[in-house]
Amino acid sequence: MKEYLPLGSVITLKNGSKRLMIVGRLQNQIGSNDIYDYAAVLWPEGLVDSKHFYLFNQEDLDKLYYIGLQDMEEFHLEWFKKGATVFSMGSFLYRQYDDFLNTTMVVDNYGMYEKYLSNFIARGPVDEFGNKREWCIMGIHFVHLVKTGKTGREGVVNLCDIVNGKASGRRSEDEIIMCSIGGMPLEDLSWGFDCYQKALEKGIGTKLNLWDEPYMK
């Protein structure tokens, strides 16, 4: 498993003397399907212009001058106990994408994440303000693993196929299931109902009158 340097790390490249600061990881080169381990800008100048934005791989690193921020935003798969089922909503920042290959990957709609991935790649590695774009949706990482040949299409299962008996669910007590939810209203309703029941139980919250009479009768 490849370990990536955190954002903000300052390095030099082989055959280079100018220090760079890492601002992105697993970045796509505009106009191609190539994915690079890192994106960086000049240090200490920062983002000067698009000509001074650098894409490179782990093997291109020479010297490390400073290690960037590492905190709880970066998960590690070993934090999840064996047999865990993890449901991820919209945002799930996890950068060691290959770790997912050791789990059962489930999505609510595979085609939706394909479109998300293509849109992210088309928009480029940074936004109009020079901020890095980062994939914070688990299902996008699943699709990327398929597109890069690290797993087959059958390696990512649609939740509806499990429900309808077309694909198997849990296969062992130790299996870790990672399920990406990016557009399933049923989950929103379920969480809302759960919160409502908890509020009734604790006698908290304010009841709102949404209408005096229904708009549609």
Same domain, 86 and 176: yes
Q: What would the mean pLDDT of 176-200 be, rounded to a whole number?
A: 86
Q: What pLDDT does 91 receive?
A: 66
CA nearest neighbour of 123 among 111, 133, 113:
133
Residue 216: CB partners within 8 Å, gap ≥ 6?
none
Q: Say if 106 falls within a structural domain.
A: yes
- Phi first, then psi: what are they for 168, rounded to 5°? -75, 150
CB-CB contact of 47 with 31 (8 Å): no
Give the domain range for residue 50: 10-66
Pull the structure tokens for residue 77: 């798969």
DSSP designation for 22: E
Q: 2-6, 92-96, 191-195, 200-204: lowest mean pLDDT where?
A: 92-96
Could you tell me if residue 217 is inside a domain? no
| pLDDT score of 57 | 94
Average pLDDT over every residue of 180-190: 81
Task: Identify the band that residue 70 occupies on the pLDDT scale cut at 50, 70 and 90.
Answer: low
Report the percentage of the chain scoring pLDDT > 90: 42
Q: Which residue has the higher pLDDT, 72 or 86?
A: 86
Structure confidence at residue 36 (pLDDT): 92
Q: What is the pLDDT confidence band of residue 73, given thresholds at 50, 70 and 90?
A: low
Residues 99 and 152 occupy one common structural domain: yes
113 is a domain residue: yes
pLDDT bin (cut points 50, 70, 90) of residue 2 is low
Q: How many residues can be counted in the chain?
A: 217
> Global pTM?
0.57
- Indicate the residue among 18, 40, 66 that finishes a domain: 66
How far apart, in whole angstroms, are the C-alpha atoms of residue 140 and residue 78?
21
pLDDT 10s digits, 116-162: 889 888 887 776 777 667 777 889 989 999 999 999 999 999 999 99
Based on the fold, state whether residues 20 and 89 are members of the same structural domain: no
Same domain assignment for residues 179 and 84: yes
Instruction: Check whether residue 140 and residue 167 sit in a common domain.
Output: yes
